[in-house]
Amino acid sequence: MSNEEKKELFTQKVVAGSRTYFFDVKEAKDGAKYLIISESRQTGSSYDHSRVMVFQEHLEMFTEGFQKALQFLGSKSKAYSLGDIKQKYPKAYERWTSDEDEQLKTKYHEGVGIAELATFFQRQPSAIRSRLAKLGLLSAQASQTK
């Protein structure tokens, strides 16, 4: 496939010791998206390269297999998903609005606690502490320890 027939949408480089991994998401001319995982490692004066291509329609099965392999290896991967978090905190990872910032300041000055603020704003307690720190109402150190 020539360069004119594929478009790079995303790339992430991970350097791990003597190996370098690339995670590239590309789009074919026909609109099909796919993931390429590449490994490059130096062997003497040359480099060895390996690649795996995973097409969009196979990503779910690939991810399930990859997660099982990580579990088998004992990797400490996330035991939760964004969906799980959003069930409990529907506004998790969303941008704060200026209105929400003002409400947060007011409620915090009224003495409302972090847990109650988390419930009110539908966000994780850590997000509340981080936002309070950003607004200058809580020290960065305190936001990590409370």
Domains in the chain and their CATH numbers?
3-77 (3.10.450.700), 84-145 (no CATH)
Share of the chain above pLDDT 70, in %: 88
Measuring CA to CA, which residue among 99, 101, 102 is closest to residue 127? 101
Higher-pLDDT residue of 95, 139: 95
What's the pLDDT score for residue 103? 96
Query: Tens digit of pLDDT for each residue in 95-111?
Result: 999 999 999 999 999 99
Do 27 and 33 contact (CB within 8 A), yes or no? yes
Q: What is the average per-residue pLDDT within 65-92?
A: 81
